[in-house]
Amino acid sequence: MAKKRASGEPWVIPGGFSVLSLQFSSSSSSRHCLYVKEHKVRAEKSKHRPLDRTLFLVNIPPYCSQVVVKGLFSQFGDIESVELRDHPGSSQESRPTISKLFRPPEKQGFKVGYIVFKSSSSLQAVKSYPFDAPLVVSTEERPVKTGVQKWIQQYSESFIQPDRLQQKVDNFMQNYDKHKEEEAERKKKEAEKQQEEDEGWVKVTRGHKGAKARPHSEAANEKTLQKEKRKKKRKELLNFYTWQHRNTQKEHIAELRKKFEEDKQRIALLRAQRKFKPY
């Protein structure tokens, strides 16, 4: 027989998820369940999702936007960021930020989310929140539009002003050109560094006006000498392998010639011993 939950206690299900009750408005009779747990992924290397301050949410309804989710969970503590996605996955921090004007329309459906709090104590507050105290989505302070009102708002926002669009395009192109220049400069520096390491040369650049040229330090000279020694050692090793291969080929050819002469003598001996025996 299932154990009854006491009033004012959290509800934890298998998998480590805590169940939160969601109510659209104070007058609604139906409730929706959110499943939350602490975000713990070993392969997660993103700085945008610290493992000790990130909350993972499942079963977020379509009427809960990013602003609504932030308003619902701000009562547990200060929020650093909110991210809603169609499916769970790694963070997209490496990709450039694209304006919503250039993104395809989002799918209307249930989503998963990642909430990053400024304090780790907020996670414990969420997990210990009682199930029988529902979170209200639409209130007088933050109303949420649905139905016809939501469709009218979406239709109005679908029209883009030309000056706003031009500004977005200009900003996007400026960021794109800046990113390309930084990438080209980085590749150029890497190529120069690789060439210096291969050739053993040290590039000397002129400093600002009035700066005195600094002599090579003892550590830099020692580093250059070590590089030259390694290059010389690799060259000697390569020459040794080349000589060894050539010497092996010579020995193999001599062995083949010796075997050929032995075969010739054996054939001549067999021919000399051959006799005609008709009976």
Q: What span, in angstroms and rounded, lies between the C-alpha atoms of 52 and 118?
A: 10
Please give the chain's pLDDT, 279 residues, in tens.
344 566 678 888 888 899 999 888 888 888 899 999 998 876 666 677 888 889 999 999 988 888 899 999 999 999 999 999 888 877 655 455 666 666 666 677 889 999 999 998 998 999 889 988 888 888 888 888 877 888 888 788 777 788 888 888 888 888 889 999 999 998 888 887 777 665 555 555 565 555 555 545 566 677 778 888 888 777 777 676 677 777 788 888 888 888 888 988 888 888 877 765 555
Under 8 Å between Cβ of 53 and 119: yes
pTM attached to this predicted model:
0.54
**Domains by residue range for the chain, with CATH:** 11-143 (3.30.70.330)
Q: Largest Cα–Cα distance in the chain? A: 128
Cβ-Cβ contacts under 8 Å for 139 (sequence gap 6 or more): 25, 26
Residues in the chain: 279
Whole-angstrom CA distances from 173 to 95, 145, 161, 183 are 15, 35, 19, 15
Under 8 Å between Cβ of 51 and 61: no
Torsion sign over Cα 127, 128, 130, 131: positive
